[in-house]
């Protein structure tokens, strides 16, 4: 009995010494830990704004849209005038000239094509419409990047929470290892229990290292999306919790207004219709003006000129079938795009309803695990650990309860990650 009291006294003294030592070490390390926390803390909104502003690929879409605006201005330009200089009705060398008038003339020729302004303006409107589609392409890409950034951010968030859980549970295993080391000289524990506790500690450390690797990967990928070097140090808001907000309405009209890919398809349809109109305008004639000036090589002939105006006849059957057939083919393509748009909206509507139900169900499941199962396992571990400290329970039983709690806490975090990723996918499909 005296040995047991002595052992319990020693255990309590060691616990006190360990606690004081831990506090002292922490106070000594505080000045060295400060530099590690100097990296800025980025909220999710900050990350998304940086991607929107700095991503190089997103910037390229604005430049492409600007290029279409200038190309539209160029579409109304005329062809450059043609100037020619040569001879007119000049005899070959060695020919017998019957009269001085047969020497011919020096001719200057001017020629200008005059396109139909209706055709030019129709082509200009078609090219300008491409800029709007390009801007919506940027919106589609930005939405994809935002979804990718959210997935990385949420993965980082859950990884940091896993580390916190593992570090908290590791303290219990460290305490049990110390107790086993103290009890062993008094034949109150087995040496194998010490090694088993050490193995569990190392296994826990490996899991922490795995989560740290996931955090480093997420940080590097987020840096690349924000157009920063991959090794730039920053932290995330560890207290952030994604909130699921179901869409107020999921009718096809609302989805068509919200989704960037549908808007892009609308602009592509508008662009195709403008192209059809431009093709139909090919039935309008073009013009050409030509001026010839002749200066005779002899003074016996007067100077002369010739003015000629020309007009094309695109309504000729052998030329009109080109633009008529092409316009008809584009009309069928527009109808196909309209059908594809309707199918996409219908499919998206069903998908979003299904995702809503799944997210709500997962939220209830996680709430049950956090409110009922984990508290029960935590109480079980607390009771068993207290019995273990009083030498009323063997360490393997406590380890079993410790593993059950750790596994359940990890499972909850796994479910949370799935939930957060589903929220990111839901928002991506809603605003895609």
Give the E-state strand segments of 77-164 in sequence order: 82-88, 105-114
Give dist(CA 171, CA 176) in Å, integer: 9
- Same structural domain for residues 44 and 24? no
Q: What average pLDDT does the structure give for the chain?
A: 82
- Same structural domain for residues 204 and 320? yes
pLDDT in tens, 100-137: 777 888 999 999 998 888 888 888 888 888 888 888 88
Q: Is the Cβ–Cβ distance between 127 and 71 less than 8 Å?
A: yes
The conformation of residue 316, written as its DSSP 8-state character, comes to S
Q: What is the pLDDT of residue 187?
A: 62
- Same structural domain for residues 314 and 397? yes
pLDDT in tens, 356-395: 899 999 999 999 888 888 889 888 888 887 887 777 777 7
Q: Which structural domain, as residue segments, surrounds residue 18?
A: 1-38
Q: What is the pLDDT of residue 247?
A: 76
Give dist(CA 316, CA 306) in Å, integer: 28
- Same structural domain for residues 248 and 210? yes
- Same structural domain for residues 32 and 47? no
- Same structural domain for residues 96 and 192? yes
- Same structural domain for residues 29 and 67? no
Read off the pTM.
Answer: 0.76
- Same structural domain for residues 110 and 25? no
Q: What is the pLDDT of residue 186?
A: 63
- Same structural domain for residues 10 and 46? no
> Rounded mean pLDDT of 341-347?
87
Report residue 309: phi and psi, to 5°.
Answer: -110, 135
- Same structural domain for residues 48 and 29? no
Question: Lowest-confidence range among 132-136, 186-190, 284-288, 308-312?
Answer: 186-190
The more confident residue out of 31 and 104 is 104
- The alpha carbon dihedral of 245, 248, 250, 253 has a sign of negative
Burial class (CB in 10 A: 0-12, 13-18, 19+), 44: middle
Give dist(CA 233, CA 230) in Å, integer: 9
pLDDT in tens, 201-227: 888 888 889 988 999 999 999 999 998
- Same structural domain for residues 276 and 137? yes
pLDDT in tens, 313-338: 888 777 777 878 888 888 898 899 88
Name the domain count of the chain.
Answer: 2
| For the chain, percent of residues with pLDDT exceeding 70 | 88
- Same structural domain for residues 79 and 6? no
């Amino acid at each position: 009995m005296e040995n047991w009291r002595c052992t319990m006294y020693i255990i309590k003294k060691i616990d006190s010494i360990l606690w004081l030592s831990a506090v002292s070490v922490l106070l000594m390390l505080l000045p060295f830990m400060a530099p590690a926390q100097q990296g800025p803390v980025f909220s999710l909104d900050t990350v998304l704004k940086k991607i929107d502003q700095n991503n190089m690929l997103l910037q390229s879409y604005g430049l492409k849209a600007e290029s279409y605006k200038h190309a539209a201005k160029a579409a109304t330009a005329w062809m450059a005038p043609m100037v020619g200089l040569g001879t007119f009705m000049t005899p070959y060398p060695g020919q017998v000239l019957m009269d001085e008038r047969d020497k011919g003339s020096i001719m200057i020729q001017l020629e200008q094509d005059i396109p139909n302004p209706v055709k030019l303006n129709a082509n200009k409107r078609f090219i300008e419409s491409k800029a709007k589609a390009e801007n919506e392409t940027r919106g589609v890409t930005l939405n994809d990047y935002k979804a990718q950034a959210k997935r990385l951010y949420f993965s980082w968030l859950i990884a940091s929470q896993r580390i916190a859980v593992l570090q908290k549970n590791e303290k219990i295993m460290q305490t049990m290892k110390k107790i086993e080391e103290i009890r062993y000289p008094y034949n109150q524990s087995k040496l194998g229990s010490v090694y088993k506790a050490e193995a569990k500690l190392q296994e826990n450390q490996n899991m922490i290292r795995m989560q740290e690797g996931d955090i480093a990967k997420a940080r590097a990928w987020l840096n690349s999306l924000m157009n920063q070097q991959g090794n730039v140090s920053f932290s995330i808001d560890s207290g952030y919790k994604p909130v699921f907000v179901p869409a107020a309405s999921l009718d096809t009209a609302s989805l068509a207004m919200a989704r960037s890919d549908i808007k892009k398809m609308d602009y592509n349809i508008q662009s195709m219709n403008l192209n059809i109109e431009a093709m139909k305008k090919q039935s309008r004639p073009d013009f050409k003006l030509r001026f010839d000036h002749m200066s005779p090589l002899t003074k016996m002939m007067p100077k002369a000129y010739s003015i000629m105006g020309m007009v094309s006849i695109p309504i000729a059957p052998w030329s009109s079938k080109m633009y008529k057939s092409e316009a008809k083919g584009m009309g069928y393509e527009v109808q196909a795009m309209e059908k594809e748009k309707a199918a996409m909206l219908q499919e998206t509507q069903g998908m979003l309803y299904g995702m809503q139900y799944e997210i709500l169900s997962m939220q209830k499941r996680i709430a049950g695990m956090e409110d009922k199962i984990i508290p029960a396992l935590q109480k079980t571990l607390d009771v068993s650990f207290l019995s273990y400290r009083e030498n009323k329970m063997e360490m393997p039983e406590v380890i079993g309860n410790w593993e059950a709690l750790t596994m359940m806490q990890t499972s909850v975090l796994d479910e949370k990650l799935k939930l957060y990723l589903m929220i990111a996918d839901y928002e991506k499909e809603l605003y895609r």
